[in-house]
Amino acid sequence: MFDNVAINVVIGLVFVYLLYSLFATILSEIIATKMGLRARNLKEAVDRMLNDEEKDKQGFWPRLWDSLKLMKNPKNPRITNFYNHPEIKYLGSTGIFKIPSQFKAVSFSKTLLYLLNETGYRKLVIDNNTKMINPDESDIKEIPVTEISKERIVAALIGILNDHKNEKGKEKQKIVLDEETAKYVQSLWYESYGDLIKFKLQLEAWFDRTMEQCSEWYKRKIQIVLLVLGFMLAWFFNADTFTIINKLSTDKDARDKIVLLAAVYNTTNPQVNGPKLNLLPDKLDSLNNVKKRLEQDIVNANSLLGLGGWAPDSVKVTIDTKANEKTYTPQIDFSSLSAAEQRENTLLKFSHYEKWQYFLRLFYHHFFGFLITAIAISLGAPFWFDLLNKLMALRTSVKQQTDSTNTTTNGVVSPLNREA
């Protein structure tokens, strides 16, 4: 059997990263579904479209802190108005987090046109005197519906900008669009040459461009989630990158078995861009089933590498007289044992309190190894699956090249190698 230590070590490490990345991805999907992260991200994007940037969020540190807030749920009269419109409101669920996780550009344009045409901001245009009773809760249903006309759209945009000049403080928040946004929408109207159909298409194109960036925002947020989950998984399973490399480099049996697992996994999952989960975000049962299978795969891999973050009830200690070293069954992290536990020569027993001590000492002794594992996990399962494919192909090509240069075939010695 072909055996290149360097390639096999890398394959084993990549396979371990792949398993943990898949597991972290599943967990992030469950978290995103439970906490409505997609819906929150969409609402944040729409809020950014309707409102200007707050002055206290300008600068590097405020922006960094704002980026780390995954549970943002903007609440102001403008965004409340928009989301209480029937076109948007009824797209959401009846659960705890009611806002929709997605809607189309046509829904955005229809809602904004409605708000501009009627009383989307607190002072109505032209001769309609209806006012919103409570902008925070929105009384949009009491607003009379009239035919959308370009005269009312023009008057609305002019009225919005005039109100921003005349109003101050919190009163400005009750206007349907913020000042800079209103100027931009007005420029879209001018580009449409007063044509309502073209203006509607301009609004939809604006929404689509924003949604492209919104997807990037969500990916960055999920990457932060993956980084945190990756560190927690590395700590929980004691998946220190340095320990894994050392184990694969010195233990041939474990290395061969982990490479065999990687080969089987690569064969049974031939997708080019990584394993396709084909799961809808709301299919929690399917996500949980995949999660259970991945947990078993991780346990199988960890048993070969001797990894584990939680101490068992008891560990048998034996001494190898030749190597003058202690061996532990089941395997345990020697560096994370207390001084008294390291001196034990027969049997280690762990109380619940001692198990927690052992777990916390893992953090101290393996922090940087866990951090590297977490960074690797945050790169995502598709990255590691693609890399595993390439490494397995390289391993096969090297093996074929080695076989092709073998000078012995069927027991016959090549004439070039015969003794003179």
Looking at residue 29, its pLDDT comes to 86
pLDDT at 413 over 50: no
Per DSSP, the residues of 87-142 read HHHTTS-SSSS-S-S---HHHHHHHHHHHHHTTSSSS-STT-----S-TTT--GGG
- Could you tell me how many residues make up the chain? 420
pLDDT at 23 over 70: yes
Q: Are 127 and 163 contacting, i.e. CB atoms less than 8 angstroms apart?
A: no
Do 24 and 40 reside in the same domain of the chain? no
Whether residue 313 is contained in a domain is answered as yes
pLDDT at 167 over 50: yes
Do 333 and 365 reside in the same domain of the chain? yes
pLDDT at 2 over 50: yes
Do 175 and 242 reside in the same domain of the chain? no
Do 25 and 122 reside in the same domain of the chain? no
Do 230 and 134 reside in the same domain of the chain? no
pLDDT in tens, 85-99: 888 888 877 666 678
**Burial readout 153-172 (b: 16 or more C-beta within 10 A, e: otherwise):** bebbbebbbebbeeeeeeee
Looking at residue 420, its pLDDT comes to 40
Residue finishing a domain among 197, 214, 231: 214
Do 347 and 233 reside in the same domain of the chain? yes
Does residue 229 or residue 303 have the better pLDDT? 229
Confidence of residue 274 (pLDDT cuts 50, 70, 90): very low
Least confident of 120-129, 203-212, 250-259, 268-277: 120-129
Residue finishing a domain among 166, 193, 214: 214
Least confident of 62-71, 206-215, 254-263, 324-333: 62-71
Q: CA 188 to CA 150: how far, in whole Å?
A: 13
Whether residue 411 is contained in a domain is answered as no
Query: Hey, how many other C-beta atoms are within 10 angstroms of the C-beta on 373?
Result: 28
Question: How far does Cα 114 stand from its chain's mean position?
Answer: 35
pLDDT at 164 over 50: yes
Whether residue 336 is contained in a domain is answered as yes
Q: What's the total number of domains in the chain?
A: 2
Whether residue 186 is contained in a domain is answered as yes
Q: Quick one: average pLDDT of 276-298?
A: 65
Q: Quick one: average pLDDT of 304-319?
A: 84
Residue finishing a domain among 214, 246, 264: 214
Domain limits for position 356: 5-31+223-404
Do 166 and 282 reside in the same domain of the chain? no
Whether residue 395 is contained in a domain is answered as yes
Instruction: Rank 204-213, 287-296, 304-313, 316-325 by mean pLDDT and report only the highest.
Output: 204-213
Q: CA gyration radius for the chain?
A: 31
Do 239 and 153 reside in the same domain of the chain? no
Instruction: Rank 382-386, 394-398, 400-404 by mean pLDDT and report only the highest.
Output: 382-386
Whether residue 419 is contained in a domain is answered as no
Looking at residue 227, its pLDDT comes to 93
Looking at residue 361, its pLDDT comes to 92
Whether residue 265 is contained in a domain is answered as yes
Confidence of residue 209 (pLDDT cuts 50, 70, 90): very high
Confidence of residue 310 (pLDDT cuts 50, 70, 90): confident
Least confident of 72-76, 92-96, 209-213, 294-298: 92-96
Do 207 and 272 reside in the same domain of the chain? no
Looking at residue 264, its pLDDT comes to 86
Whether residue 110 is contained in a domain is answered as yes
pLDDT at 155 over 90: no
Do 57 and 176 reside in the same domain of the chain? yes
pLDDT in tens, 211-239: 998 888 888 888 888 999 999 999 999 99
Which one-letter amino acid corresponds to residue 263?
Answer: A
Distant-in-sequence, close-in-space partners of 249: CB < 8 Å, separation ≥ 6: 5, 9, 255
Do 312 and 262 reside in the same domain of the chain? yes
Instruction: Rank 16-20, 158-162, 274-278, 290-294 by mean pLDDT and report only the highest.
Output: 16-20
User: Among 137, 132, 210, 144, which Cα is nearest to 175's?
Assistant: 132
| C-alpha distances out from residue 29 to 225, 239, 374, Å | 10, 22, 17
Do 64 and 9 reside in the same domain of the chain? no
Q: Quick one: average pLDDT of 311-338?
A: 83
412, β-bridge pairs: 409
Q: CA 264 to CA 80: how far, in whole Å?
A: 52
Least confident of 107-121, 241-255, 337-351: 107-121
- Name the percent of the chain lying above pLDDT 90: 24
Looking at residue 229, its pLDDT comes to 93
Confidence of residue 417 (pLDDT cuts 50, 70, 90): very low
348, β-bridge pairs: 315
Q: Quick one: average pLDDT of 359-363?
A: 93
